[in-house]
Structure 1
Amino acid sequence: MEMITTTYDSVDKKILKSLDNNKVLHRPNASAGLWLMPLVGISALATILREDNSYSEICLLIGITGVGLVLSSICLIAQLTIDKSSIKDFQIIYFLPATITSMLYLLWASKGLLVSVSWGLSVGSIGTWGVLQLMSLCPKCFTLGEATTVTHGIILFLLSTCTNLPQRYHLPPLHDDDIATIILQVGIIFVGLVCALCMIIPKIRETKYFYITTFGILIIGVVPLLHILLDQSPLLWMIYFIFGDLQRMTFIIYAATCLLVGSGFLMNQISSDTHAGTAGRKIFHLLAVLVYIPGLMFEPTLLYLASGIIMGIFMMLELLRFLNIPPFGKFLQLGFSVFADEKDSLISLTPIYLLIGMSFPLWMPTTNLDLLTLLSGVLTIGIGDASASLVGSKWGKTKWNGCEKSIEGTVACILSQLIVIYLLAASGFIYNLFSLIRITLVVIGVSFIEARTDQVDNLILPLIFYICLII
Structure 2
Amino acid sequence: MVAIVPHVSFTTANSAQKTKGSQIPPEEIRKINMRALKVNLREGSRGFECFFSNFIQIFILLGTFCYGFKRLQPWSSDGIDTSYKQIFVNVLVVGLIMISVVFIKYWQHGRGSLPKFDTVYSLYLPFMISLLFDTPSTVINTILILSVLDSYEWDTQLIVVILQFCLVFFNFESDDREKNIVSIIINSLLSLILKYIGQLKSLDNIDSNLFSIILTNILYLSEADSIQFRILRGIIIALITVISINYMLNKIMHVKPFILSIFFAVGLPAFTSIFIQLEGDRNPLFWLVEYILESATRQKILFAWSSILMLSIPSILIEKDSLSLNTSRKLWHFIIFLLIVPSFQIDSNFVKIALSGTIPVFLSIEYIRFQNLPPLGSVVEKHLRRFADARDHSGPLIISYLYLLIGISTPLLMNNSPMGLIGLGIGDSLASIIGKKYGRIRWRGTQKTIEGTFAFIITSYVVCLILFYFDRAVIFNHLTALQLLGVCTLSGVLEGNSVLNDNILIPAFMMICEKLFTL
Please confirm whether the aligned pair reaches a TM-score higher than 0.5, indicating the same fold: yes
Tell me the CA shift for residue 236 of structure 1. Answer: 2.5
Q: What is the CA-CA distance between 1:232 and the residue it aligns to?
A: 2.3
Task: Give 1:397 shift.
Answer: 1.8
Please name the residue that 1:441 is paired with: 486
Mapping of 1:27-106 within 5 angstroms?
Answer: 31-38=116-123, 39-48=125-134, 63-74=135-146, 76-77=148-149, 85-86=153-154, 90-101=157-168, 106=173
Report the Cα distance in structure 1 between the residues aligned to 2:172 and 2:315, rounded to whole angstroms. Answer: 49
**Equivalent-residue separation in structure 1 for 2:178 and 2:492 (angstroms):** 40
CA offset at residue 387 of structure 1? 1.0
Secondary structure at the aligned position of 1:91 is classed as helix
Q: Does 1:154 align with 2:212?
A: no
Which residue of structure 1 lines up, in the alignment, with residue 421 of structure 2?
A: 378
Q: Measure, in 2, the Cα distance between the counterparts of 1:184 and 1:237.
A: 15
Alignment partner, residue 430 of structure 2: 387
Q: Which whole-Å CA distance do the structure 2 matches of 1:12 and 1:157 have between them? A: 33
Counterparts of 1:98 and 1:237 in 2: how far apart (Å)?
42
Cα deviation, residue 256, structure 1: 1.4
CA contact (8 A) 2:370 2:397 kept: yes
Moved more, 325-334 or 260-269: 260-269
Q: Does 1:264 align with 2:336?
A: no
User: Against the structure 1 CA distance between its residues 446 and 205, is the aligned structure 2 distance closer, same or farther, given a 3 Å change threshold?
Assistant: farther
Q: Which amino acid aligns with 2:449?
A: S
Secondary structure in structure 2 of the residue aligned to 1:37: helix
Segments of 5+ residues of structure 1 without an aligned counterpart are 49-62, 108-112, 166-176
* Cα distance change, pair 189–21 in 1 and its aligned pair in 2 (3 A): farther
Cα 1:148/1:32, change in 2 over 3 Å: farther
- CA distances 1:108-164 after superposition (whole Å, capped 9, x unpaired): xxxxx3xx3343123334445753553243111123322221111111111257x57
CA displacement, residues 306-352 of structure 1 (integer Å, 9 cap, x when unaligned): 11222122111111111111211111111232110012131011101
Q: Give ranges in structure 2 of 5+ residues lacking alignment.
A: 1-50, 59-97
Q: Is this contact kept in 1: 2:443–2:449, CA < 8 A?
A: yes
What TM-score does the superposition give when structure 1 sets the normalisation length? 0.77
Asked if structure 2 preserves the Cα contact closer than 8 Å seen for 1:275 and 1:339, the reply is no
The answer to whether the 8 Å contact 1:282/1:386 transfers is yes
| Greater C-alpha radius of gyration | 2
SS of structure 1 residue aligned to 2:154: coil
Q: Which residue of 1 aligns with 2:93?
A: none
Relative distance call for 1:320 and 1:226 in structure 2 (3 A) is: same
Distance of 1:314 and 1:292 partners within structure 2: 17
Two-structure CA RMSD over aligned residues (Å):
3.7
TM-score (norm 2): 0.70
CA contact (8 A) 1:146 1:455 kept: no
Matches within 5 A, 1:109-148: 113=175, 116-127=176-187, 130-131=190-191, 133-139=193-199, 140-148=201-209
SS in 1 for 2:480: helix
3-state SS in 1 of match to 2:390: coil
Q: 1:208 to 1:129 in 2, by over 3 A?
A: closer
In 2, distance between residues paired with 1:46 and 1:182?
21
- Provide the aligned length of Structure 1 versus Structure 2: 414
Check the 8 A contact 1:266/1:335 in 2, yes or no. no
**Aligned pairs for 1:234-245 within 5 A:** 234-245=284-295
1:224, 1:143 → 2: CA distance? 33
CA contact (8 A) 2:183 2:220 kept: no
Instruction: State whether residues 369 and 381 of structure 2, in contact with CA within 8 Å, keep that contact through their aligned partners in structure 1.
Output: yes
C-alpha separation in 2, matches of 1:125 and 1:466: 29
1:250 aligns with 2:336: no
- Which one-letter code corresponds to 2:422 in the other structure? L
The 1:444/1:73 distance shift into structure 2, 3 A limit, reads: same
